[in-house]
Amino acid sequence: MDEVKAIKDDHRSVDPAAVEMLRIADREGYSNVWERYEKQQPQCSYGQLGTCCRICSMGPCRIDPFGEGPTHGVCGATADTIVARNLARMAAVGSSSHSDHGRKVALLLRAVANGTNTDYHITDPDKLMAVAARLGIPTAGRQQMEIAADVAKVAIDCFGNQEEEPLVFLQKYMPVKRFERLKELERALYESTGAKTGFLPRGIDREAVDILHRTHFGCDHDPLSLVAQSIRCSLSDGWGGSLIATELQDILLGTPTIKSVKANLGVLEEESVNVVVHGHEPILSAKVAEMALSAENRQAAEAVGAKRVNVVGLCCTGNEVLLRQGVGMAGNESHSELAIMTGAVDAMVVDVQCIFPALADLASCFHTKFITTSEQAKIPGALHIQFDEHHADVIASRIIKTAIDAFPNRNKGRVYIPKHTATAVVGFTVEEILKALGGTLQPLIDLIVSGTIKGVAGIVGCNNVKVQQDHFHRVLTTELLKRDILVIGTGCWAVAAAKAGLMDLSAQKLAGPGLKAVCKQLGIPPVLHMGSCVDCSRMLNLAGAIADHLKVDISDLPLVGSAPEWTTEKAVAIGAYFVGSGIPVHLWPLPPILGGPAVTKILTQDAKDLLGGWFFVEEDPVAAADQMERIVMQRRSALGI
- Spell out the residues 6+ positions from residue 5 whose beta carbon is closer than 8 angstroms to its own: none
473 assigned ligand-binding residue: no
Angle of helix 242-253 relative to helix 79-113, nearest 10 degrees, comes to 20
- The span of 72-80, 200-208, 222-230, 544-552 binding ligand SF4 (CB under 6 A) equals 72-80
CB of 182 or CB of 263, closer to ligand MSK: 263
Minimum CB–partner distance for residue 230 and ligand SF4 (Å): 18
Using the rule CB under 6 A, is 59 a contact of ligand SF4?
yes
Coil, helix or strand at residue 549: helix
* SS3 at position 380: coil
Candidates 156-164, 183-191, 564-572, 576-584: pick the segment binding ligand MSK (CB under 6 A): 564-572
61 is in an annotated binding site: yes
Q: Give me the helices (H) in 115-175, please.
A: 125-135, 144-160, 168-173
Does 519 count as an annotated binding residue? no
- State in angstroms the smallest separation of the CB of 454 from ligand MSK: 26
3-state secondary structure of 143: coil
Handedness of CA 433, 260, 458, 639 (dihedral sign): positive
Q: Is the peptide bond before 60 cis (omega within 30 degrees of 0)?
A: yes
Pair 513, 520: CB distance under 8 Å: no
Number of residues that bind ligand SF4 (CB under 6 A): 14
- Give 55 or 91: the residue with its C-beta nearer to ligand SF4: 55
DSSP line for 198-260: --S-S-HHHHHHHHHHHTSTTS---HHHHHHHHHHHHHHIIIIIHHHHHHHHHHHH-----EE
Q: Which of 315, 498, 540, 583 binds ligand MSK (CB under 6 A)?
A: 315
Selection from ligand SF4, ligand MSK, none that 492 binds (CB < 5 to 8 A by kind) is ligand MSK
Q: What is the DSSP letter of 13?
A: B
Cβ proximity to ligand SF4, 47 vs 160, nearer residue: 47
CB neighbour class for 400 (10 Å; exposed up to 12, middle 13-18, buried from 19): buried
Rounded-to-integer distance, Cα 472 and Cα 311, Å: 29
161 binds, among ligand MSK, ligand SF4, none (CB under 5 to 8 A by kind): none
For ligand MSK, which stretch binds (CB under 6 A), given 52-60, 181-189, 502-510, 563-571?
563-571
Select from 95, 562, 568, 600 the one that contacts ligand MSK (CB under 6 A). 568
Output Rg (C-alpha) for the chain, integer angstroms: 24
Q: Which does 188 bind (CB under 5 to 8 A by kind): ligand MSK, ligand SF4, none?
A: none
333 lies in the site for ligand MSK, by CB under 6 A: yes
Question: Is 52 marked within a binding site?
Answer: yes
Name which position in 22, 33, 49, 77 contacts ligand SF4 (CB under 6 A): 77
Give backbone dihedrals phi and psi of 563, rounded to 5 degrees, phi first: -130, 75
Relative to beta strand 347-350, strand 273-278 is: parallel
Verify binding: residue 56, ligand SF4, rule CB under 6 A: yes
If one asks whether residue 498 binds ligand MSK (CB under 6 A), the answer comes out as no
Relative to beta strand 309-314, strand 328-331 is parallel
Residue 53 interacting with ligand SF4 (CB under 6 A):
yes
The residue type of 164 is E
Q: How far is the CB of 83 from ligand SF4 (least distance, A)?
A: 11
Answer with the entry of ligand MSK, ligand SF4, none that 56 interacts with (C-beta below 5 to 8 A by kind). ligand SF4
Instruction: Write the binding mask 62 to 91 for ligand MSK: x where contact by CB under 6 A, - elsewhere.
Output: ------------------------------
Minimum distance of ligand SF4 from residue 61's CB (angstroms): 3
Max CA pair span of the chain? 74
Residue 58 interaction partner, one of ligand SF4, ligand MSK, none, beta carbon < 5-8 Å per kind: ligand SF4
Instruction: Decide: is 369 part of the binding site for ligand MSK (CB under 6 A).
Output: no
Nearer to ligand SF4, 76 or 115 (CB): 76
Angle at 582 between CA 580 and CA 585, to 5 degrees: 85
User: Considering beta carbons, is residue 81 or 469 the nearer one to ligand SF4?
Assistant: 81
Among ligand MSK, ligand SF4, none, residue 241 binds (CB under 5-8 Å by kind)? none
The sign of the CA dihedral 133, 138, 143, 145 is negative
Pick between residue 50 and residue 73 the one whose CB is nearest to ligand SF4.
73
CA distances 191 to 197, 581, 608, 617, Å, are 10, 22, 20, 32
Q: Is 315 annotated as a binding residue?
A: no
Please choose which of ligand SF4, ligand MSK, none residue 61 contacts, taking the beta carbon within 5 to 8 angstroms, the exact cut-off set by kind: ligand SF4
Under rule CB under 6 A, residue 469 binds ligand MSK: no
Find the shortest distance in angstroms from Cβ 492 to ligand MSK.
Answer: 3
Site track 207-246 with ligand SF4 (rule: CB under 6 A), x = hit: ----------x-----------------------------
- Is the preceding peptide bond at 282 cis, omega within 30 degrees of 0? no
**In Å, how far are 84, 205, 208, 227, 610 from 233, measured between CA atoms?**
14, 9, 6, 10, 17
Kind of pairing between the strands at 273-278 and 309-314: parallel
570 binds ligand MSK (CB under 6 A): yes
For the segment 425-464, give every residue that binds ligand MSK (CB under 6 A).
461-462
CA–CA separation, 24 vs 413, rounded Å?
A: 13
- Region of 637 (left: φ > 0; alpha: ψ -120 to 50; beta: rest) is alpha
Is residue 55 a contact residue for ligand SF4 (CB under 6 A)? Answer: yes
Q: Shortest Cβ distance from residue 182 to ligand MSK (Å)?
A: 26
CB of 315 to ligand MSK, least distance (A): 4
For the CB of residue 74, give the shortest distance to ligand SF4 in the complex, in Å: 4
Interaction of residue 318 with ligand SF4, rule CB under 6 A: no
In angstroms, how far is CA 489 from the centroid of its own chain?
Answer: 9
Considering only 58-66, 135-143, 168-176, 203-211, which stretch makes contact with ligand SF4 by CB under 6 A?
58-66
CB-wise, 334 or 397, nearer to ligand MSK?
A: 334
Can you tell me which of 3, 8, 69, 74 binds ligand SF4, judged by CB under 6 A? 74
**How far apart, in whole angstroms, are the C-alpha atoms of residue 238 and residue 446?**
27
Nearest to 154 by CA among 231, 248, 242: 248
Tell me the backbone φ, ψ of residue 596, rounded to 5 degrees. Answer: -115, 100
Would the CA dihedral through 297, 302, 303, 306 be positive or negative? positive
- The answer to whether 265 contacts ligand SF4 (rule: CB under 6 A) is no
Which residues are annotated as part of the binding site for [Ni-4Fe-4S] cluster? 280, 316, 354, 462, 492, 533
**Binding region for ligand MSK (CB under 6 A):** 280, 315-316, 332-333, 354, 461-462, 491-492, 532-533, 567-568, 570-571
**Binding region for ligand SF4 (CB under 6 A):** 53-56, 58-61, 73-75, 77, 82, 217
Which residues are annotated as part of the binding site for [4Fe-4S] cluster? 44, 52-53, 56, 61, 75
